[in-house]
Amino acid sequence: MRKFGTALATLGLAATALLIPATAAQAESGSTHQSAEASVMATKYYFNTWRNATSYRYPSTSTPVGVLWAGRNYFYCQVSGERVVDSAGNYNYWWAKTDDDSGNTGVYISATAFSVGGNDQAIPGLPKC
């Protein structure tokens, strides 16, 4: 019986050893994704916005969450999304990712609020997400 118990204990240790690499791989995979996003949001690029701008959870006007005040603000990167036409006649489908003045992080501002760039053009000097 002692031999059988030792064999089961050895088998249990072997089974545990087989589980560890899978768990480590999953953890590494998750941390790599988080590290990539953290890396993008680690570098800040400063631009002027000419007006107060509504911030959105996604690059679309469907989910407003806060406001970014006019002036010098930092941004992380830009993506294309819903086309926006503002009251001044500016239009653009580029959105910049930032943290707004309402305390929301990782939100989007339409490129129509930027003092640089043109209609339907990416924001010069801001990398793509």
CA–CA gap between residue 56 and residue 1 (Å, rounded): 67
Confidence at residue 11, expressed as pLDDT on a 0 to 100 scale = 42
Mean pLDDT for each 10-residue chunk of the chain (129 residues)?
Answer: 42 39 39 52 92 97 97 98 94 98 98 95 97
Name which of 105, 108, 110 is nearest 97 in CA terms: 108
Confidence at residue 42, expressed as pLDDT on a 0 to 100 scale = 81
Confidence at residue 103, expressed as pLDDT on a 0 to 100 scale = 97
Confidence at residue 39, expressed as pLDDT on a 0 to 100 scale = 60
CA–CA gap between residue 57 and residue 15 (Å, rounded): 44
CA–CA gap between residue 7 and residue 62 (Å, rounded): 61
Name residue, tokens 């939100």: 107
CA–CA gap between residue 98 and residue 25 (Å, rounded): 31
